[in-house]
Structures are given as structure tokens and as C-alpha cells.
Amino acid sequence: MGTTAWEGRMSAYYGQELHGPFEMFDLGDFVLEDGGTIRGAKLAFATHGRLSAARDNAILIPTWYSGTSKIMEQTLVGPGRALDPERYFIIIANQIGSGLSSSPHNTEGAFHGPDFPSVRIGDDVVAQYRLVTEKFGLEALQLVVGASMGAQQTYEWAVRYPDFVRRAAPIAGTAKNKPHCRLIGQSFIDALTSDPAFNDGHYRNSGDVRAGLIRHARAFALTGLCQEFYRLELWRDLGFSSLDDFFVGFLNAYFLPMDPNNLILMARKWQRGDVSRHANGDLAAALGRIRARTTVLALSSDMFFPPADCEEEAKLTPGAAFRVIDTRFGHAGLFALEPTYVPQVDAALKDLLAAP
Amino acid sequence: MGTTAWEGRMSAYYGQELHGPFEMFDLGDFVLEDGGTIRGAKLAFATHGRLSAARDNAILIPTWYSGTSKIMEQTLVGPGRALDPERYFIIIANQIGSGLSSSPHNTEGAFHGPDFPSVRIGDDVVAQYRLVTEKFGLEALQLVVGASMGAQQTYEWAVRYPDFVRRAAPIAGTAKNKPHCRLIGQSFIDALTSDPAFNDGHYRNSGDVRAGLIRHARAFALTGLCQEFYRLELWRDLGFSSLDDFFVGFLNAYFLPMDPNNLILMARKWQRGDVSRHANGDLAAALGRIRARTTVLALSSDMFFPPADCEEEAKLTPGAAFRVIDTRFGHAGLFALEPTYVPQVDAALKDLLAAP
């Protein structure tokens, strides 16, 4: 299938205009861990900077739930920042189901929408490994850094390819998803599937699932931010005049253009993130394989991945450092909307990159 | 209307067999703060112990969301406990909408179900004041103690009737509901109203709203317990063999027999709990009126009413003590399912009752 046909299947939201520039890597018929196959699978990626002749300056960033390479760039990459394109070759890989890579909404035929096969975090990492080895001929990554579901992929990288990953920085995410976090993912899924217009995923247009998408945005509002954010009315700092103004102008605006089946695919992947399956369910043994120099970063007010959950895994990761980023935005601190966020994350990543 | 007709309108769940014994106090046509009227309003109450001849040993306990006088008795009252019926005359008042007192489900005619008038925490406290003064001729309460929505009523009592309340112990609840807590209440309401069978509250049988009631139970599971409860699989301590076993055997079993309109009435009351309306929105001024010796109790892992929210209000309450009860059950710590709960709450209440 040609790029034109592919582009034609993209909705305006998931296109180059809002999320580009990005390129496509062809994975062919991609067999998944749970047994399914994505036929003609594609991985959307963006790059920043130039690969050195020695191919020794590459950094990989996987994406988080509902995010694309664009928000990863905006929150993590820039001249003078830790991830400086003047110095590093930065590859941002959009996860399967993100809407840019192969996803329920852009797959035609029998595997469209809710019939898209089941995907796990490991599938993303295998696809990304093929991208960086086959497309760029890499033999190592100086750093894998990702937040939230990107942290899940970061852990998966470090456990699955221990000799390939020199440094790892999972931010606000875990190697094995915790039961309460699974309930949060379920609250997102239930918000969408409980809308009668969802129709078991066989809706005609994603906009028909408006009530479900708004409930999904409210579910994010409940656990994706934090008590302090609301008590101090920090939405005012973002230019909103009331809580409803924030809900509609920020959360609805962000989530309403998205495809429910895409979101559900990602949420299920998130719920089942677990590197311990590489060691027969033994999380300590799985994390014990990591050779990357690792800095585990947690967000102080995160309800998705509380610092205690992150620290527990840092202790199981050989030689890992653990740092807490102070934020009053809960998990949504990752959006870098507080001026205090970037200096903290950059300081941690600069330290990590400066280490041998 | 006679008691027999009243009893006849009760479903099996809301009756004497499961929640009794309780009695009824007739409020007549009861005009509400928001302007509505409950005609032939009734307050269900239970008593334990005997009122002294001097009428100086009375304690009042209001009920929490979805609870009745029975669970208040089970978690707070007993021989040898701080609230000892051998020593005190303990009145437990079921809140309006609880299903035992006047409620959407047991009101016939024009004001049935979703057309039941809007009720506030203040209405409950006025009704309870009438009960304790008119029925029992009290001139003071030695203690008002309540948890969750019961704490909201406790604060309302202490602010509204400062000379009547000698001691107050709000447990895991606030005087002014915080914005994030309002979102939690909304997640409960939305879980019910999003079920098509809810039909704007005009369902025929509450069991028809089964999907909504189960979603409501899941919403409680998400924020009513806590990360640690799930991470440590503490449902095992309650005799459940898996998380699903706990959801169905505990949470569904608890919530499924309840009436959705009753739950929504209580949730809206909870969301709008706010004593500052007695002082033109000035919370410090409202709490400054309190003359009761007050001990504010918070639960260490509570997501509904985090310790920080409770402590903030304790600081605004003249002379108040602040104590944190350690629990790994989140807000559901109130159910006293951990053996460590009762000793902690009783120690705090004994100290308070021993003080002059």
C-alpha cells in the first residue's frame, strides 16, 4: 500500500498538520506477542538532529497514552535542553494505536476498529528495535527516555535489549503496572464503552461517541491531575476562568478529536505493561537484567504512578538512581505546563547523559 | 400518613430487617434550604443506651453516604468502646436520602425519584436539631461525631448551633468540600446517570439500572480505597480470592441493592457541603464560630478527604486537635475492617470525651 492511500485514511486530527512532520517505517506483516498480525504495519516516527558518523549519539523517545511525537518533542527536546538536537540524534517513535502508527482507526477491512489485534508494550519495543537497527543501522542507544506509557516502553527496552540500551530514564511510569493503575485505565475504557453510541466499537464516526469521549476526559480529570491542582485552582495559571472553562477548553479540546478504539487499544496496553513476563513473573529477576545506567523519575503528586510505586522498582534496578520531580499538576505535570518542570527533568537527564 | 403505609413503600433492602431497629420522627412539612418542601417528612433514627435524668449524656451520630444507622452502630458504638451505651445515650440519625429517612425512592406522587427536592447538609442538621430538641428535650449534645458525610454534618452542627454542641469529632470529612472531592462525587453520579436504563431517574425498578450501579461500585473502587490496598492485595484479608471476587462479592453486593436516585441525592449533598455559606463564603469566619472542643480526624490514605484537606480546616477551628488514623484501606478504612482501626478511633474519642 502506498503512502498516499495511507495518508488518505488518516483523519485530519491524526495527520501531518497537527502532529508532523513525521515519517513512516514499514514493518511488513508484523506478528504480535498475543498472536495477532498487523498486516502492512507502519511505525510513525520523527527525528531531530543528525546521526553522527560513528552512530553513537542516538536517543529514543517512545510516546505516552494519547500523545504523539509532537508533544514528546514539545516537552522534552530543544536546543540547550538535555535532549539537544545540536548534539544528539533523537528518534521519537509513535506507539502502535497512537493514531499515527498502525491503529484501529486507520486499518481498513477485517481488522478495522475494535477488531484490531491485541497489542502489548513489547510489540512496540520490537517494532522500535527494527526501526533503529534496520532504518538507522544503530548498534546502541545512548538513552531511552519516555514518560508514562513511554516509561513502560523504556523499561521494556532496558530489560529486553540490555546490551543495546546504555542509559534509561523511565519518567512517571512503571515496569509492572500496579493494580490501582489498572483500575484507572479501566475507568478510561469504561467511560468510552458505556456510551451506547460506542456500539462495541462499531461507530461510524468517532464524533458519534461524544458523550463517551467527554466522560473519558472527566475520568482523566479525576485521576490525571491531583487534589492540589484543583484546590489551588491552578487552571487559572493556564488561562482558564473557571473549572468548567478548563474542562471544556482544555480537556474536551484535547480528547474529543481522538478515536475511541485507538484510546482503548492504548489503555489496554497500558493496563498490562509488565516486564516480569520476561522472567516467569519475577519482577526482581526481570529488572535485574538491566545493564543501562538508569534514573527513575517520579512526579510528586502523581496518582497514576505514585512515587512509592516508582521507587519500589528503582530499588530492584541495578545501580538505579531515583529522583522525584516536584509538581502540583499530578500526572499531567508531564505536559510541562509549570515553569518548574523543564529545569527539573533536564537536570536529571543531563546528569544521566553526562555519566559514562 | 400512617407507619404502615410508610413501611409498605420501603423496599426490602431499606427495611427494619437489614437496617433496624430504627424509629421514625415526624417532621411534618419540612421546608428546605434550597426552597423545596418535603411533605410529611420523616427522619429515621436509632438509639442506644438511656438518656440520663439530667439529659446530659447525649451523643449524636449522623450517617455517611450510602450508610445507615446500622453501619454507624457497627463501626462506632459498643460496650467498652468510646461510645459506650452503658454510659451515653447515643442517637444515630439517618440522613435524608439514605433510604430510611425521607428519600427519593420512598416518596410517592409528584416528588418521587428524580423529582425529590434538592437537599443540603444544613437540612439534615436542622431536622436532627428538631429531633433532639422536640423528641428528647435536649439542651446540649456532649458530642457530635460523624464520618465522611457524617463529618460534613458534624461541622454544620458545630457552626450552626455553637452553644448546643459541647464536643465535635469530624472523621474523614471536611467543612467545605474541596474541588477534587466534588469531582469524585461527580464520578459517582455520572456512573449512574450514564446508564440508558437510568432514564433521567424514571426507571421502574432500581435493578434495571444494574450497569450503572456496577459502574458506581467501580467508581467507588477507584477512589474509595487506595493504591496500597490493591498493591498489597488486602482484599485477601477480607476473605476474597481475587480482585474480581472482591468487586462482585463486596462492592457489587454492597451497592447493587441501593436506589440510584437516593445515591444521587446524597452525592449532590456531599458535593455541596460547605459551612462557609453561614459567613458569606468565608470559611475561616464560619469555622471561627465553633465553640465545641473539636478533634479533627483524618485517614492516612484517604483519597476523598486527604489529611492535608482535613488539617487545613482543623487549623481554622478554634483550639481543635488534629489526629491521623493510620489505615491502608483509603476512605473505606471507615468500615473498620482492619483490626487497627477501632483502637485508634476510640483512643481519640475517649480523649475528647474525657476533656471538660
pLDDT at res. B8: 46
Q: Looking at this protein, which amino acid is placed at residue A161? A: Y
pLDDT at res. B11: 64
Q: Give A 287-326 residues with CB within 8 A of chain B.
A: 303, 306, 308-309
* Gap between the Cα atoms of A146 and A151, Å rounded: 5
Q: ipTM of this predicted complex? A: 0.90
- Please indicate if any CB of chain A lies within 8 Å of the CB of B194: yes
- Please indicate if any CB of chain A lies within 8 Å of the CB of B179: yes
Q: Please indicate whether, in this complex, the C-beta atoms of B230 and A308 are within 8 angstroms of each other.
A: no
The 10s digit of each residue's pLDDT in A133-149 is 999 999 999 999 999 99
CB B331 within 8 A of CB B304: yes
pLDDT at res. B12: 81
B302 is catalytic: yes
B93 three-state secondary structure: strand
Question: Smallest CA–CA separation between A75 and chain B, in Å?
Answer: 26
Question: Smallest CA–CA separation between B110 and chain A, in Å?
Answer: 30
**Residue B328: its chain A contacts at CB < 8 A?**
none
**In terms of CA atoms, which chain B residue is nearest residue A305?**
B227
**Residue A196: its chain B contacts at CB < 8 A?**
196
- Enter the C-alpha cell of residue A279: 522472567
Q: What is chain B's pLDDT, residue by residue, as a tens digit (356 residues)?
A: 334 444 444 468 999 999 999 999 999 999 999 999 999 999 999 999 999 999 999 999 999 999 999 999 999 999 999 999 999 999 999 999 999 999 999 999 999 999 999 999 999 999 999 999 999 999 999 999 999 999 999 999 999 999 999 999 999 999 999 999 999 999 999 999 999 999 999 999 999 999 999 999 999 999 999 999 999 999 999 999 999 999 999 999 999 999 999 999 999 999 999 999 999 999 999 999 999 999 999 999 999 999 999 999 999 999 999 999 999 999 999 999 999 999 999 999 999 999 99
B331 is catalytic: yes
CB B145 within 8 A of CB B76: yes
Q: Which of B180, B194, B195 sits opposite A230 (nearest CB)?
A: B180
| Residue A142: Cβ within 10 Å count | 18
* Gap between the Cα atoms of B21 and B355, Å rounded: 32
CA-CA distances (angstroms) from residue B31 to A224, B37, B266?
Answer: 40, 4, 18
Which residues in chain A show pLDDT less than 70?
1-11
CB B187 within 8 A of CB A215: no
**Residue B308: its chain A contacts at CB < 8 A?**
227-228
pLDDT at res. A76: 98
- Enter the C-alpha cell of residue B56: 446530659
**Residue B211: its chain A contacts at CB < 8 A?**
194
**Residue B306: its chain A contacts at CB < 8 A?**
227
**Cβ neighbours of residue B199 closer than 8 Å, sequence gap 6 or more:** none
A21 cis-preceded (ω within 30 degrees of 0): yes
CB B153 within 8 A of CB B124: yes
Q: Please indicate whether, in this complex, the C-beta atoms of B180 and A306 are within 8 angstroms of each other.
A: no
A325 three-state secondary structure: strand
pLDDT at res. B310: 98
* Gap between the Cα atoms of A248 and A241, Å rounded: 11
Q: Looking at this protein, which amino acid is placed at residue A84? A: D
**Cβ neighbours of residue B157 closer than 8 Å, sequence gap 6 or more:** B60, B62, B125, B128, B129, B141, B144, B164, B165, B168
**In terms of CA atoms, which chain A residue is nearest residue B307?**
A227
Say which DSSP state A243 is in.
H
Backbone angles phi, psi at A282, to 5 degrees: -95, 100
Nearest partner of B46 among B135, B123, B153, judged by Cα: B135
* Catalytic center residues of A: 148, 302, 331
pLDDT at res. A2: 39
